[in-house]
Amino acid sequence: MINLAAICNPSEYNVNPISVIDANFLQPVKIVDVCVQQKKWLIHFSTSEVYGRTLASYLGDVDYSNPELYELDEDSTPLIMGPIGNQRWSYATSKQLMERYIFGRHKEAGLPFTTIRPLNFFGPKMDFIPGRDGEGVPRVLACFMTALLDGQPMQLVDGGMARRTIVSIHDAIRAIVLMINNREWSVNQIFNVGNRHNEVTMKELAELMREAYAECTSDATHLKHPIVNVSGLEFYGEGYEDCDRRMPNLTKAKDLLGWEPTRSLKETLLETVTYYYDQYRDWPKTQRGAAVTQA
């Protein structure tokens, strides 16, 4: 059983926390229980959000000189969430409790499981473009893309200083297929799936995406596409807080599965931006070019 279903859009976490908790914890409990009854191997998609904020971010002046304070290891890094009033953590805490439920069922009832913590899979077909084939606020990739397609400013929440690592969907799928085909190595493990080499701030991501857009449209004016700042409160409303950085330790996936990501950020963004441009170029422009810093 492979469970990918989730509400995993940051624009929902503050405003619809009950739906987020239902989709990411209460509903999947039933899937886990069926797997226990039927003695099935469950491959469950969790999230790197379960790590919360880094230790470094709580130590005053953020200092990333010590990897022990920010590197994310599947089996040893503490999972640090903000206060209850910051409902932004509804997603991360539901996913974390789900992981704990799966692990508990493994220990008590012998459930075979594999938990995957994706770190920003990027590629064609992710999310939707508001006003074309969906409504609402999608994740950062489609938000920036909407702004580029609409000729609207790309909006950076709180200056776009949050850092994320981006992994190509092709690398991610290769990791998942390796897990499925090598049960003896992937069973009863938690895996980070990300790319340490593709780290950017959200501000850098906006700049790189407009470069890719200029390249795929052969129009250099897009290099100057406007990027503006917006506060987290303004964009997400009450209860917003961001994870500062997500740098995965990937040694487990390499040692057990022989997996390493190979695709660079530049090629991943060019492929993705070109896909969206080809797909949506003939649609009329809308006024919705909004974008977020969170992924």
Residues annotated as catalytic (active site), given as ranges: 91
Of the listed pieces 2-10, 70-78, 182-190, 224-232, which binds ligand NAD according to CB under 6 A? Answer: 2-10
Residue number with CB closer to ligand NAD (118 or 232): 118
Under rule CB under 6 A, how many of the chain's residues touch ligand NAD? 12
Does 261 contact ligand NAD by CB under 6 A?
Answer: no
- Among candidate residues 156, 139, 161, the one with its CA nearest the CA of residue 272: 139
Residues 42-61 that bind ligand NAD (CB under 6 A): 45, 47
Return d(Cα 63, Cα 91) in angstroms, integer.
27
- Residue 71 or 225 with smaller CB distance to ligand NAD: 71
233 interacts with ligand NAD by CB under 6 A: no
| Per CB under 6 A, 142 contacts ligand NAD | no
- Residue 289 C-beta: closest distance to ligand NAD, Å: 21
Binding-site member from 5, 109, 180, 233 for ligand NAD (CB under 6 A): 5
- C-alpha–C-alpha distance, residues 53 and 100, integer Å: 19
293 binds ligand NAD (CB under 6 A): no
- Told to check if 6 binds ligand NAD by CB under 6 A, we report yes
The reply to whether 79 sits near ligand NAD by the rule CB under 6 A is no
User: Is there binding between residue 23 and ligand NAD (CB under 6 A)?
Assistant: yes
198 near ligand NAD, rule: CB under 6 A:
no
Minimum distance from residue 112 beta carbon to ligand NAD (Å): 19
Q: Where along the sequence are the contacts to ligand NAD (CB under 6 A)?
A: 4-8, 23, 27, 45, 47, 118, 120-121
